Amino acid sequence: MRKILYFGLIAACSLTANAFAQDFCQTATHSGESVEYSTNKVGSFDNGIGYELWNEGGNGGSATFYDDGSFNCKMTGAKDYLCRAGLSFNSDKTHEEIGHMKADFKLVKGNLSGIDYSYIGIYGWTREPLVEWYIVDNTGSQYMPGDWVAQGSSAKNHGVFEIDGAQYTVYEGDRTSYSIDGDNKYFKQYFSVRKSKRDCGTIDITAHFKKWEELGMKMGKMHEAKILGEAGSTSGANAKGEYDFPYAKVYIEGAEPSSSSAEPESSSSTEAIKGIRSMTVGTNTSYVFDAQGKYLGSFEAADAESLNAAIKAKYNSGVYMVKQGGAVRSISVK
C-alpha cells in the first residue's frame, strides 16, 4: 500500500472476436525479456510495461518482471512486501474520462507462511480527493480481509453488494501514512473484498468505482490501476512464499467508434488510447499503433495468428496496440 510511479499497458496475446476470449487461465509460463530485483525498484520496459517492487525497510524479498506483462513475487522474510504491474495515469482525468477499465489475471501461490494480512487483486490511488483503493479477489493469509480494513474516523462497512457477478463487501476508512504525495499524509481508503477467493478471472474495475460512488465514496483524478500482490506480518519480518502471475493485464475496454477519423498524435498513453478509440474503422481491418499510441499502419488479417505474423514481418517483435471494430487491445508479438 505504498509508493508507485510508472506506466504500462499490459499485453494481451490475441485479436479477433473469438481470440479475445482466450482462456488465459490455462497460461502456465512467463515469456519475453525479464528483469529481477531484490531491492526497492520502480521501472519499465522499452515497450512501456511498468513494474515495481517495494519492501518496507528495503529487504525481505525479490521480484521478476517480464515484458509480456506477467510477473513473479518472492517473499523471503518480509514485514510489508508488494509487487505490482499495470496502468499509471498520473493524470487530471477521472475514470469516466479515461474509459472502462478491466483486468485479467492468473495467480499461482506457493509455500506461503507467516502472513498476517494480504491483498491480491487491483490497487490504485486518486487525487482530489487523495484516495488509496483496493479490489481484493484473493489473499495469501487464511481468511479474506474483514472489518479491520476499515480504519480511522470514517470507518464503515457499507455492506455486501453484487458487483460484476460476485459478492463483495465494501469498506471505507481513512489513514495518515505513506502516500503518493509523501509520508504522513491524510487520505481516504476504499476496499471491495470478494466473499470467495479466486485464482483467475477478469475484474471489472470500473464497476467497483461506480458502486463506490453510489455509496458516496468519491473518486478523484486517476493516478493508477495495477494488479497487486501484497503480504505483511504484524509481528516482524516473517512473511514468506510466492505469488506468481503468469498472466496479468490491465486495460481500457474498447468503446464504439465515433464519427471522427483523426489519427492520434499524442505520445501520452492515456491520450493515445482516447485517440485510437475515436477512429472509425472497418470491422475486418486491424489498425496498429506502437505502445505509446503512434499510428503505424493497417492490416487485413483473417485471424490473430496471421495478424501477429504480419506485424512481426513489418515491425519486428514487441507490444502493439490494435484497433479492430469498436475494440482496442494490446498484443504481444513474439
Q: How many residues does the chain have?
A: 334
Q: Over the chain (334 residues), what is each successive 10-residue block's mean pLDDT? A: 36 30 78 92 77 85 91 95 87 92 95 96 96 98 95 97 96 95 96 97 97 98 94 94 95 50 36 42 62 67 80 80 70 80
The region that residue 16 occupies, defined by phi over 0 for left and psi between -120 and 50 for alpha, beta otherwise, is: left
**In the chain, what's the furthest Cα-to-Cα distance?**
59
278, 106 in Cβ contact below 8 A?
Answer: no
What domains can be seen in the chain, in order of their start residue?
19-252 (2.60.120.180), 269-333 (no CATH)
Could you give the residue numbers annotated as active site?
Answer: 132, 230
227, 245 in Cβ contact below 8 A?
Answer: yes
- Position of cell 479466486? 198
The pLDDT value given to residue 325: 57
The pLDDT value given to residue 267: 38
The pTM of the full predicted model, rounded to 2 decimals, is 0.72
Can you read off the three cell numbers belonging to residue 319? 507490444
The pLDDT value given to residue 45: 76
The pLDDT value given to residue 291: 65
The pLDDT value given to residue 309: 85
Q: Which residue spans within the chain are E strands per DSSP? A: 34-37, 41-44, 50-55, 61-66, 71-78, 80-88, 101-113, 117-127, 131-138, 156-163, 166-179, 182-194, 200-204, 221-222, 224-232, 239-252, 285-290, 295-300, 318-324, 327-333
The pLDDT value given to residue 18: 29
**Burial group, residue 59, by CB count within 10 angstroms (0-12, 13-18, 19+):** middle
